[in-house]
Structure 1
């Protein structure tokens, strides 16, 4: 019988995705415990920006009320460097789960991997930052044998990255990637310019999306297009294009120039109705052609062109017919001349965490 092997897990970030992940991790741990040959998962550290809960002796933290215990913890808050050293000294393999969107944490990935610590994360900033950071992450992993998986950095729990990697690694030639990559933008345009009916005023739809929790606290963080640009940067790199950064190709911002520098998100929403006519004109122009506008990202691999912005689509097009806050990503390749399409919920704590949990299972199989 194969001896049970311990794997030590540290979780950074205990917000919406983090809490959902901890719940899924408990279920996974219980399922693995029933399989004689499986690895034993031990959570030895959970942290958020100002709190750390950890087990100095590497004994597992109980799952019961982990989030509450973290909030009540009086243990010294560990710096990221101290967390890395703590994991590196663990008596068995260790995995860092980074559920933050922190650039500071992302910048440390090469050092984490160099010490043999695997990483699972939805953090887009690590893989869409400078091209040098991208190269350093994967060369550190290759040198140490540590694994790094980031399915949820694009499309939450949808199998977007794993599908693209499989296409590339099996020798297919990806010619085009196109889609709606933002749950926020999907929701906004499906309600502002629906395929049937007239939709509401742009400013009213943005306000509604914020009230429903679909946007960032400041909606400009969604409307500037940078979130989509980050996801495209990741996919373009996986498809073989050495994209330097998310600002190195055209990205259309939907923030009126006059409102870019207003002090707050609330002030932005107050003044946005003054600019409704701009979006209304674009919607009407598309309608005259029998089309609707959607906010999409596209990568033309052959021409090496990456761009993010508004495009017009026939009402029957799969991108036009999306519902709610769904994402849709299409891959056109040598093998898939009719595109291979992935569609479904592209945002939300549970589905994002599911992508993270799925990646953790892959790492456990490969350690």
Structure 2
């Protein structure tokens, strides 16, 4: 019997557009096993709504279609009722970074609506929200919809699924360590490359290169404050069994110079950053004299319940030191694997790979729907 599944998509930025394209291809390839129809697409200001639950066209979708539709987005209660009114299974795709929407995940799940999302906020904010989500989730013993969030850590890399497989099969995770940010990976691979004979570049110059290339947020302080990495560590620590209150409840090193924290704009911050190149330059020089490089990493020590984010020195032969471009690398040390870590490495950022992670979660949900 063909499964009838309605899909609502919120967020049509880079990841959202890539996801819509990938979902359209998936639907074309799998019509015989599942009837998947997108019936709602929205962003903060406008929405496309299929009043009769007929599939919206995904062919060559562009966000401007939302404006042309002239419809405001549905409120969360109205969206829940709309999806329940279809009479079948429904999946919410949250491609935003909205904490307000994440706060409503338990309402969707308790209504039997499944969720696939790359949004870190729902899983790394206050512990109560995490508890409420998984108390409702059908794939965690609850009676509500299923929830999957693979792309909230590592984009399309199998990071969360690896942790869950280790834990669910009875292994004991002792330590997790790695480079969790594509932006920070690029910055330090460029700033302190292994084996380079070129004169060292100023850190502010590398930040500008990364910003101009689109590797950073529009305001680089949103990357340099370390909070993005802290959110990912919070998720992995919780999955590993630690009771982490929030991403600000453990040490997180910010690379924003104190005097620039209050800069009124991104440009003011960038203009002032060269004045502080000497501080981080000295750290890199000290590491080089020891035959090491500096990298911005996160680590979780499960037995001691210690979680931290910041700069660390690594021997040039260490896998973390040898990363290229904006790759991520996450090493899992467990009782079964011993001293030889299980390593997941690859592109940990980008619209296409993040969308792939979300689509893989949709496929997991479809497979579980009876």
TM tier, smaller: over 0.9
Q: In the TM superposition, what is the alpha-carbon distance from 1:81 to its structure 2 partner? A: 2.6
Structure 2 partner of 1:314: 315
Q: In the TM superposition, what is the alpha-carbon distance from 1:89 to its structure 2 partner? A: 2.0
User: After alignment, is 110-119 or 79-88 more displaced?
Assistant: 79-88
Structure 1 partner of 2:358: 356
Structure 2 partner of 1:141: 137
Structure 2 partner of 1:58: 53
Q: In the TM superposition, what is the alpha-carbon distance from 1:39 to its structure 2 partner? A: 1.2
SS in 2 for 1:94: strand
Q: 1:23 aligns with which of 17, 21, 24?
A: 21
Q: 1:119 aligns with which of 108, 115, 118?
A: 115
SS in 2 for 1:97: strand
Q: 1:11 aligns with which of 9, 12, 28?
A: 9
TM-score using structure 1 length: 0.97
1:191–1:199: 8 Å Cα contact kept in structure 2?
Answer: no
Q: How do 1:291-330 residues align onto structure 2 when only pairs under 5 Å count?
A: 291-330=292-331
Structure 1 partner of 2:70: 74
Q: In the TM superposition, what is the alpha-carbon distance from 1:56 to its structure 2 partner? A: 1.2
Structure 2 partner of 1:195: 194
Task: Flag structure 2 segments of 5+ consecutive residues without an equivalent.
Answer: none
Residues 85-107 of structure 1 show CA distances to partners (whole Å, capped at 9, x for unaligned) of 21122210000000000000000
Structure 1 residue 286 and structure 2 residue 287: aligned? yes
SS in 2 for 1:144: coil
CA distance in 2, matches of 1:104, 1:242: 23
Q: 1:317 to 1:290 in 2, by over 3 A?
A: same
Q: In the TM superposition, what is the alpha-carbon distance from 1:118 to its structure 2 partner? A: 0.3
CA distance in 1, matches of 2:162, 2:113: 25
TM-score using structure 2 length: 0.96
User: After alignment, is 73-82 or 271-280 more displaced?
Assistant: 73-82
1:188–1:206: 8 Å Cα contact kept in structure 2?
Answer: yes
Residues 338-363 of structure 1 show CA distances to partners (whole Å, capped at 9, x for unaligned) of 00000000000000000000110000
Structure 1 residue 93 and structure 2 residue 83: aligned? no
CA distance in 1, matches of 2:88, 2:229: 38
1:115–1:144: 8 Å Cα contact kept in structure 2?
Answer: no
CA distance in 2, matches of 1:256, 1:144: 48
Structure 1 residue 41 and structure 2 residue 39: aligned? no
Structure 1 residue 273 and structure 2 residue 271: aligned? no
CA distance in 2, matches of 1:50, 1:78: 10
Q: In the TM superposition, what is the alpha-carbon distance from 1:329 to its structure 2 partner? A: 0.2
CA distance in 2, matches of 1:186, 1:76: 39
Q: In the TM superposition, what is the alpha-carbon distance from 1:144 to its structure 2 partner? A: 2.5
Runs (4+) of structure 1 exceeding 3 A deviation are: none
SS in 1 for 2:277: helix
CA distance in 2, matches of 1:153, 1:14: 17
Structure 2 partner of 1:105: 101
Structure 1 partner of 2:235: 234
Q: In the TM superposition, what is the alpha-carbon distance from 1:73 to its structure 2 partner? A: 1.5
